[in-house]
Chains A and B, each alone.
Chain A
Amino acid sequence: MRAALMDRDWRNGWAFAAPGLLMLAVVMGFPLAYAAVISVSSLTLLRPSLTPFVGLANYAAMMNDPLFWGALWLTIKYSVVTVAGEFVIGLAVALMINRTVTMKPVYFAVLTIPMAMSPVSVALIWRMLLQPNLGIVNHTLEALGLPRVDWLGNADLALWTMAGIDIWQQTSFVVLILAAGLASLPRDPYEAAEVDGATPFHQFWYITLPMLRPVAAIAVIIQLINEFRTYDLPYILTKGGPGTSTEVLSFFAYRRAFLGLHLNEGAAASFVLLLIVLGLTVLFFATLERRR
């Protein structure tokens, strides 16, 4: 009897999930599979034919390109810095909002504005603000008696300028997730800690942070995936320059596919990016599980 019920639940479960899974297979599975096929084919925009298949030659060509390794290293640096920045600032803002009693909806509405803007618009706006000769940022610096800064034309600074813009836009997403996590934490441990004489810092360190870990992990992993895929900002702000100082992996893949006309190599680069992101996700969740 129990086995029959379980069997029926199993069938019902699949029946309910099937439409969604089918939709996913069509809109995600098919393009992914097609990209995988392209990555082992000889298809270019000048010779639009999948055959002959070339195995892993496109991957090998990419791995032999020093620019690929440079782009990979830049992407890692960029992602780590932006996610760390977003998390630290996001947590601080979320904690402040959590303590406020009034006007919370106003704060949330204001915080949503950067997140609601498209990255292309954000990049264009910041490009104007940071224009070295006519932009308002340098104008303000000059008015304050400070030297003008070459935000995007200096190879040592361009990547970090881009990271700053990214943090400006993406932090609000982290704030919203962490604020929701903070609001859902139980009050009992805090009351017990107060009775035991714990300071606010001790409460934050020994209660808030550990209890917030699952939500924080979600925020970090989503942002890490986002940052690894960053494309809009370098495209609009720097075109990968000066030199190769802002050529992140997704921009490298774009160059291969559309400037080099080699869709196959572009697809191979995209798959490497996908594997890295997948690997990071698995590693992150495995670590999280172990700590539990």
Chain B
Amino acid sequence: MQLKCSLKAALLGATLLAAVPAHAQSVTLRALMEDVPETQIIEKMLPEFEKETGIKVEFEKIGYGDMHDKLVAQLVSPESYYNVLEVDFLWAGEFPTAGWLEDLNPYIAKSGFDLKPFIPSMLDLLGQTKDATPILPMYNYSMGLIYRTDLLEDAKVKAAYKAKTGKELVPPKTLAEYVELSKFFKAGGQVVGAAMQGQRGDPNAMEFSNYLFSAGGAYLDAGRKVALNSPEGLTALKLYADNVQNGAQQGALSATLDDTMRLMCAGDAFSMVTYWWMLPQLDNKEKCPKVAGKLALSVMPGGHGESGGWGWGIPKNTSDESKAAAWKFIEWVQGKKASVARALEGHAPVRADVYTDPAVLAKYPFYKTALDVVASGKSFPIFAYSAQYEDVLGAQLSLAAGGQAKPEDALKAAADGLTQLLAK
């Protein structure tokens, strides 16, 4: 009798254990993440997700420059070590073309996840078609101009600028005005005019895109034909090279985002063309006491900057269990509640309803400007070889900015490179 009771109790226990979702115990989600504030914001919230679902999430944080290679190596292997992916918009052509990503539409349909609040341009940027959603937007990195208001308001600086140029010292409205202002500050010797990220590759390609769009240029026309080699493109490149040589810090041609951030934070630069969400990082009394409270954000002079974004994807080469857990995480982290919580920590939203959330606007009034930056942004060309094109373009920009090539020749080579890669 006693044995019978024990057996029954054991069976009941086993049944109860079996009723607990398997993933709650066994799945650990692993993601390769860019080491930026956005990642840190999400990382802080991970215990909350784990508590709710029992799914553990581990972030491996590295610099952007190493991410593509590490991810590609996993995506071509039989089973990816990373079972939830952070995907840059620059790879939104390559990864789905290579067949490395799950289509998220079935997951969206099954869970009833609402895509309507997502800014449509962000979904487009990350490769959504009418048939498939390979990547769900995570955060945007539209770029704008961050500048020092205290320097613009300084009476001595104002007088010196007026004496030199005959004009009032006001925030620049065109790209040419911006570069002129940048050179003025550097010539003054107190600060450099622009903290620039001129290292070949992603840093200078992203930075230059702002100059191109500000000057009215474009990479591709409406028919997706290469339009880079244009008078506007040439103006943009000449102004870019001029600013590197005469407005930026020493070493701009080897500088990355981290270098520009440090320079701006140290109070040694008047401005930087950068991701708009760098503002709360710089405008922080503890981290950057020299510039906190003295900064403003604007849309790129000229009206348009580079727009980019990261998204979440699920690799095909991982288990079904991992895929289900990965979607659960994506759904949670991009939901309204988590998005607002992230925004209150400085997140760059991809949902329109977060930009208009009263709590977010109360804490960060500049999110209004941020929405303008996002809405006016234009995109780098997205196709299977976008990552390679960044390198091709970056090499030519670096040659022109370093005085090793004429801007005309560099622009032509950059345009020819784009034509060749698009034809592949």
Q: Which of B388-421 contact A (CB under 8 A)?
A: 388, 390-391, 394-395, 398-399, 401-405
Residues from chain A with a CB closer than 8 A to the CB of B356 are none
Distance in Å from the Cβ of A116 to the closest Cβ of chain B? 23
- A132 and B201 within 8 A (CB): no
Q: How far is the CA of A48 from the CA of B97 in the complex (A)?
A: 12
Contact assessment for B251 and A261 in the assembled complex, using a CB-CB cutoff below 8 Å: no
Interface size of A by CB at 8 A reads: 30
Q: Does B385 contact A (CB under 8 A)?
A: yes
Question: Taking the nearest CB of chain A, how far is it from the CB of B21, in angstroms?
Answer: 35
Is B174 engaged at the interface, CB distance under 8 Å to the other chain?
no
Assess the B263–A133 pair: CB atoms within 8 A: yes
Q: How far is the CA of A73 from the CA of B254 in the complex (A)?
A: 22
Instruction: Please provide the chain A residues from 128 to 151 with a CB less than 8 Å away from any CB of chain B in the complex.
Output: 131-134, 148, 150-151
Q: Is B387 a contact of A259 with CB atoms below 8 Å? A: yes
Within 8 A of A (CB), among B262-285: 262-263, 266, 268
Instruction: Decide if B399 touches A243 in the complex (CB within 8 Å).
Output: yes
Residues of chain A lying within 8 A (CB to CB) of residue B165: none
Interface size on B, residues (CB 8 A): 39
CA–CA, A68 and B259, complex, Å: 30
Query: A46-B98, A150-B250 in contact; A134/B404 too (CB < 8 A)?
Result: no
A201 and B344 CA atoms in complex are apart in Å by 74
For A158, the chain B residues whose CB sits under 8 A away are: 254
Query: Are A259 and B404 within 8 A (Cβ)?
Result: no
Q: How far is the CA of A239 from the CA of B387 in the complex (A)?
A: 14
Q: Decide if B398 touches A255 in the complex (CB within 8 Å).
A: no
A238–B94 Cα distance when bound, in Å, is 25
Contact A242 B94 (CB under 8 A): no
Asked whether A148 lies within 8 Å of B76 as measured between CB atoms, the reply is: no
Taking the complex as formed, is B68 at the interface, i.e. its CB lies under 8 A from any CB of chain A? Answer: yes
The reply to whether A238 and B254 form a contact with Cβ atoms under 8 Å apart is: yes
Contact B391–A238 (Cβ < 8 Å): no
Known interface pairs A243-B404, A247-B395, A260-B388; 12 further A-B residue pairs with C-beta atoms within 8 A, sorted by A's residue number:
A45-B72, A132-B251, A133-B262, A148-B250, A150-B254, A152-B251, A155-B402, A238-B254, A241-B200, A242-B404, A244-B399, A261-B98
A-B contact pairs, 18 of them (CB 8 A): A45-B76, A46-B94, A48-B76, A133-B259, A133-B262, A133-B268, A134-B263, A153-B198, A154-B253, A155-B253, A155-B402, A239-B201, A239-B394, A240-B200, A241-B201, A259-B390, A260-B388, A261-B72
